[in-house]
Amino acid sequence: MPTATARKPTNSRTATKSRKPQAAIRNPKSRKHVYFFGNGKADGNRHMKDLLGGKGSGLAEMTNAGLPVPPGFTISTEVCNIYYEQKGKIPAAIDREIAEHVKKLEKAAAATLGSTDNPLLVSVRSGAKFSMPGMMDTILNLGLNDDAVEGLKRRTRNGRLAFDSYRRFIQMFGNVVLEVPKEAFEHELDAVKKARGAKLDTNLDEQALRDVVARYKKVVKTKAGREFPQNPREQLTMARDAVFRSWMNPRAQEYRRIYDIPDHIGTAVNVQMMVFGNTGDRSATGVGFTRNPATGKKEFYGEFLINAQGEDVVAGIRTPQPIHELEQVMPKAYKQLREITTRLERHYKDVQDFEFTIQDERLFMLQTRSGKRTGYAAVVIATDFVAEKLVTPRDAVLLVDPESLNQLLAPGFDQDEWKKIPTATRGLPASPGAASGQVVFTADHAVEWTRQGKQVILVRRETVPDDIHGMFVAQGILTATGGMTSHAAVVGRQMGKPSVVGAGALEINEAVRQFRVGGKTVKEGDFLSFDGLTGEVKIARVASKPSEILQVVNGTLARDKSDIYRRFETILTWSDKFRRLGIRANADLPDQAELAYAFGARGIGLCRTEHMFFGEGRIPIVQRMILADNEKDRRKALEELLPLQRDDFYGVFKGMHGCPVTIRTIDPPLHEFLPKREDLMIDVARLEATGHAGKELEEKRRLLARVEQLHEFNPMLGHRGVRLGITYPEITEMQTRAIIEAACRLNKEGLKVVPEIMIPLVGHVKELRDQKTIVDRVAGEVMKEQGTKITYLVGTMIEVPRGAMTADQIAAEAEFFSFGTNDLTQLTYGFSRDDVGKFLRIYQDKKILEKDPFASIDVEGVGKIVRSGVELGRQTRPDLKLGICGEHGGDPASIHFFEQVGLDYVSASPYRVPVARLAAAQAALAVKVGD
Ligand code: ADP
Ligand code: MG
Ligand code: MG
């Protein structure tokens, strides 16, 4: 059986083609490349994310709103594209524009770059349209040199601050721009700390920090082979270019691949006046969310560190304090922060994720953006927002990423079993969900072991952006350091991956691949489980249990007992109001039909009859049918199958409560129902060798002979689909009879059903005509026998390119089309669905393909064929019913395309029905996914 290609849980975005960075989005008339913000006015605003990136547009918007934002300017994403286009050079005109903006910034900041008595210090920050946490680089305190540092000391009368800032600058610049490994600097810092008996960075005084600076400069000299650059303008140019380069670093590329972010959009560079959270105990830096991003609960949420700068909070160097404690330490700044962030949430009508710094009790906002959240939180927040009258249901529907609904269906632990196992330790509950698997310590091992079919938990001291590939495949992520906003936490939530962070009791020894906790040693390969909602970690393998939503759907939990179910249902009910596309499910068996119906599918778009042939005790009958070398024997076997199929159809119709059901006649090549040729050969050889003549040997030989006869070099292009029905019309007869008899029976019982009989793999209208004649004849006979009349439709799957190209002819016979986009993709590209895995990854690495065309429809190629099939079909038959039943029916980006093409419905696998309902609503509201 051709297997569906595994899909990755992505944030699907609009299908954008893979392109190298280029200036495709550049408007030749716009000569402006640099945008200022400061003194209550900005050149940009929130609608300019394409040009200014998320960070730049947020800084502009906050400035315009009169919030306390340090002044600065944004170099647009177009410049990034120019940088790549011109092979790393920036045109002189843009350099001049930047220089003018530096002057403007010096004026606004009342300080001068490189000045020895009042130096301007800036941060140089990356920022693309879509936030990519930690993937690119940022440099703080730029503008310092051996003279300016003394100037800073004079101005602030704080030598510790000056040298703390300088050593940070050398480290960041050295690492990001001059590519000196971080460890080389950390090694020196540790040495100074040790020599002075200092536990924390904050224990180092000015003198000690002067020592650190001297050592850092030596590190640069030996590792980078040059002096640390002293000219601030040179520093700025080098930093800007390094940020542009970081756009194409491997981890950023990997991140974009996972999240379907195109390469060509580029990053902006923000140059902003520094404010200092490291002046002493009256200063701090922090990050936060306006609501809890893991649970969605309405609570002010975040962390801060006193006397710290920039990344300290997320880097896990010191353990940050929860944000509510700020109220005691700096009540005024706290109150202002709450007011500002509440205002921002109302302004943007979305949860905000913000960064701030307090310099001598004065608050500065450094960033605001939509907060990444779990699927669970997204549903809670969207429904709360409507209850709070902050947004309408229409906006609420746009606040939830369809793909993230899958997280709500993910399993949890069986609580009875979970409680029996002792808790080994507890960490911070960063991303909910139950994770169980074998321990690995590196991202590479996670990938390797997963390939071998194992389920793994990635255990790290802390994750770094380079771990992204391992985090993607792991069942869960567990770290020893880091807070709720650390890398592991942020990325875990975004991926919907269970994560527990900051489990400080873990003593991890990555070198020998083991950790110790509570006197126990856990080695690589040992089983471990944790609960991302409570933070509990246990050394055991624990079975998981269906999510609350599934429990309600299965009827094992009352709807009223589940708050999240009711919210989930609410979002989907709203979605139903806004969508135009009908939602059906691909379901072969009655229980699947029931599940799909419970998830809101109103019809079956694809019921594969052959799946019924694999039912218990049926294979021998099916084999007899196939082995028959004459029509009489074949009919005898088919007669045995008839009542079984009839009952199946009866069950599926019933499971769909009278909604339309499309049943496809048999599709796969017959040899799939027979034993493997090689196995039979071995059996025959064995029986011959052991002298077992007689009935068994004879049977096996006969079977082998028939298998040889049916053997095909290329079964996907062989004797299958409509070709089977044409060569063995009695199969189509039996299947039609089973369908119509089941429908008649339900009709008599009072449930009206309209079966849609679908003939697969049609490329020529005469193929369909041949089969339709049979269907109509048998249907007529059955209805006469039964003394009832029912309505049924006959249609076809459009999955062979010729079928799509001659859709006008085919529509003369077909009452409906269902686009079989799996086969259509296979036949259009000539990629075998079952073998594409061997080279797809390389295609993606080489940027030949950005997405797997079997997971998300290739709009330009396969999509064009679908579009033409739709147009031709409707020319002949304006009321032609049009649907899609490939894997793409559950993919949000593809659903956007199907909405545009004007299909009547999409059909997805039962578990993806909620995703499809929401995506269809968003598509109808014509909002680009991911914007
Ligand atoms: P990222 O995109 O990885 O969050 P940012 O550009 O936001 O990187 O910067 C990293 C850190 O540096 C943040 O914590 C931010 O608050 C801090 N930072 C950036 N610019 C300034 C500035 N002008 N003054 C003080 N801190 C800053
Ligand atoms: Mg930031
Ligand atoms: Mg097919």
Residue 277 has pLDDT above 60, yes or no: yes
Using the mean position of ligand 3's atoms as its centre, give its distance from the Cα of residue 519 in Å.
Answer: 57
323 Cβ inside 6 Å of ligand 1: no
Ligand 1 closest atom vs CA 366: 16
Q: Give the gyration radius of the chain's Cα atoms.
A: 32
pLDDT confidence of 29, banded at 50, 70, 90? very low
Average pLDDT for residues 375-388, to the nearest whole number? 97
Q: Please work out whether the CB of residue 311 comes within 6 Å of at least one atom of ligand 1.
A: yes
Mean pLDDT calculated for residue range 785-790: 95
Which ligand 1 atom lies nearest to the CA of residue 275? 24
Which of 231-240, 405-414, 753-762 comes out lowest in average pLDDT?
405-414
Residue pair 895/872 in contact by the 8 Å Cβ criterion: no
**CA 826 / ligand 3 centre spacing (Å):** 9
Residue 14 has what pLDDT?
Answer: 38
Contact between 251 and 465 (Cβ < 8 Å): yes
Residue 32 CA to residue 385 CA, distance in Å, equals 38
Taking the CA of residue 652 as centre, how many other CA atoms within 13 Å lie in the half-sphere pointing to its CB? Answer: 33
The mean pLDDT value for 625-643 works out to 91
Among 138, 287, 353, which residue has the most ligand 1 atoms within 8 Å of its CB, making it the best to mutate?
138
Identify which ligand lies nearest to the alpha carbon of 721. 3
Find the mean pLDDT for residues 493-509: 85
Tell me which DSSP letter residue 406 carries.
H
Q: What integer is the mean pLDDT of 665-692? A: 86
CA of 140 to the centre of ligand 2 (A): 12
Q: Is the CB of 532 under 6 A from ligand 1?
A: no
Contact by Cβ (8 Å): 276, 309: yes
Whether 310 lines ligand 1, by a CB cut-off of 6 Å, is: yes
Closest atom of ligand 1 to 356 CA is 16
Predicted local confidence at residue 301, as pLDDT = 92
What is the average pLDDT score of the chain?
91
Q: In this structure, which ligand is nearest to the CA of 885?
A: 3
Strand partners of residue 849 = none
- Residue from 132, 140, 314 to probe ligand 1 pocket by mutation (most atoms less than 8 Å from CB): 140
Q: For residue 494, what pLDDT is reported?
A: 65
Helix axes of 695-710 and 677-689: crossing angle, nearest 10 degrees: 150
- How far apart CA 196 and CA 209 sit, in angstroms, is 11
Asked whether 134 lines ligand 1 (CB < 6 A), one says: yes
Quote the percentage of the chain above a pLDDT of 90.
72
Distance between Cα 720 and ligand 3 center (Å): 9
Determine whether the shortest distance from the Cβ of 366 to ligand 1 is under 6 A: yes
Where is pLDDT greater, at 722 or 845?
A: 722
Ligand nearest to C-alpha 320: 1
Contact criterion met (CB below 8 Å) for 213 and 165: no
Q: Name the H helices within 65-91.
A: 77-85
Nearest atom within ligand 1 for CA of residue 135? 3
Question: By C-alpha distance, which of 324, 343, 124 is closest to 241?
Answer: 124
CA of 133 relative to ligand 2 center, distance in Å: 8
With a 6 Å cutoff on the Cβ, whether 123 touches ligand 1 is: yes
Question: How far is the centre of ligand 1, averaged over its atoms, from the C-alpha of 132 (Å)?
Answer: 14
How high is the pLDDT of residue 745? 96
User: Is residue 199 very low, low, confident or very high in pLDDT (cuts 50, 70, 90)?
Assistant: confident
Evaluate if residue 25 carries a pLDDT over 80: no
Taking the CA of 287 as reference, the closest ligand is: 1
Residue 162, ligand 1, Cβ within 6 A: no
Give the residue from 371, 787, 367, 394 showing the smallest Cα distance to 576.
394
Which pLDDT does position 616 carry in this prediction?
73
Residue 622 has φ and ψ, to the nearest 5°, of -60, -40
Q: Where residue 319 falls among pLDDT bands split at 50, 70, 90? A: confident
How many Å lie between the centroid of ligand 1 and the Cα of residue 212?
23
Residue 439: pLDDT band with limits 50, 70, 90? very high
Output b/e per residue, 741-756; b: 16+ Cβ within 10 A.
bbbbbbbeeeeebebb
Determine which of 99-103, 151-155, 304-308, 617-621 has the lowest per-residue pLDDT on average. Answer: 617-621
Mean pLDDT is lowest, of 304-318, 450-464, 866-880, for 304-318
Do the Cβ atoms of 224 and 184 come closer than 8 Å?
Answer: no
> Which of 125, 144, 285 to mutate to test ligand 1, by most ligand atoms within 8 A of the CB atom?
125
pLDDT at 18 over 60: no
Active site residues: 487, 885
Q: How many CA atoms lie within 13 A of 607 on its CB side?
A: 30
From 42-51, 163-172, 195-204, 668-677, the region with the lowest mean pLDDT: 668-677
CA 483 to ligand 3 centroid distance, Å: 49
For residue 689, the model assigns a pLDDT of 87
125 CA → ligand 1 middle, Å? 7
- Residue 188 clears pLDDT 50, i.e. is over it: yes
Ligand 1 neighbourhood includes 367 CB (under 6 angstroms):
yes
Query: Confidence class of residue 615 from pLDDT cuts 50, 70 and 90?
Result: confident
Nearest ligand to the C-alpha atom of residue 313: 1
Q: Is 42 exposed, middle or buried (0-12, 13-18, 19+ CB in 10 A)?
A: buried
Which residues does residue 355 pair with via DSSP β-bridges, in sequence order?
287, 367
Judged against a pLDDT cut of 80, whether residue 313 lies above it is answered with no
Query: Using a 6 Å cutoff on CB, does residue 125 contact ligand 1?
Result: yes
The yes-or-no verdict on residue 640 having pLDDT over 90 is yes
Burial of 451 (0-12, 13-18, 19+ CB in 10 A): exposed
Gap from CA of 825 to ligand 3 centroid (Å): 10
Determine the pLDDT at residue 132. 85
Rounded Cα–Cα distance for residues 719 and 711 (Å)? 10
286 touches ligand 1 (CB under 6 Å)? no
When pLDDT is averaged across residues 783-807 and rounded to a whole number, the result is: 97
Measured distance CA(130)–CA(259) in Å, rounded: 10
* Residues in contact with 855: Cβ distance below 8 Å, sequence separation at least 6, in sequence order: 5, 7, 8, 887, 888, 891
Nearest atom in ligand 1 to the alpha carbon of residue 136 is: 3
Contact 514 CB / ligand 1 (< 6 Å) = no
Ligand nearest to the CA of 799: 3
pLDDT band at 30 (very low <50, low <70, confident <90, very high): low
Phi, psi (deg, nearest 5) at residue 256: -65, -35
Q: What phi, psi does 495 have (nearest 5°)?
A: -80, -10
Is the pLDDT at 929 greater than 90, yes or no?
no
Protein residue with least CA distance to atom 3, ligand 1: 134
* 634 Cα to the center of ligand 2, angstroms: 70
Ligand positioned closest to the Cα atom of 140: 1
Q: Find, among 892, 888, 817, 900, the residue nearest to 857 by Cα.
A: 888
pLDDT at residue 834 is higher than 60: yes
Structure confidence at residue 673 as a pLDDT band (50, 70, 90)? confident
Output the pLDDT for position 410.
81
Please tell me the predicted confidence (pLDDT) of residue 316.
Answer: 64
Residue nearest to atom 8 of ligand 1 (CA): 138
Distance, CA 310 to ligand 1 centroid (Å)? 5
Say yes or no to pLDDT of 501 above 50: yes
Residue nearest atom 16 in ligand 1 by C-alpha distance: 310
d(CA 286, CA 310): 8
The reported pLDDT for the residue numbered 7 is 33
Q: What is the three-class DSSP state of 277?
A: coil
* Greater model confidence, 675 or 390: 390
Burial class (CB in 10 A: 0-12, 13-18, 19+), 374: buried
Closest CA to ligand 1's atom 17: 310
> Atom 23 (ligand 1): residue with closest C-alpha?
274
Pocket lining: 112 vs ligand 1, CB cutoff 6 Å? no
Pocket probe mutation, ligand 1, options 275, 358, 367, max atoms within 8 Å of Cβ: 367
886/395: higher pLDDT: 395
User: 274 in ligand 1 pocket by Cβ < 6 Å?
Assistant: yes
**Are 361 and 333 spatial neighbours (Cβ–Cβ below 8 Å)?**
yes
Tell me which residue has tokens 């944004």: 74
Q: Is the pLDDT higher at 30 or at 321?
A: 321
Hey, what are 272's tokens? 């902003």
What does the alpha-carbon distance between residue 616 and residue 189 come to, in Å, rounded to a whole number?
69
Our answer on whether the CB atom of 359 is closer than 6 Å to any ligand 1 atom is no
Which of 293, 314, 287, 356 shows the shortest CA–CA distance to 134? Answer: 314
| Residues that place a CB less than 5 A from ion ligand 3 | 799, 820, 823
**Chain length of the chain:** 931
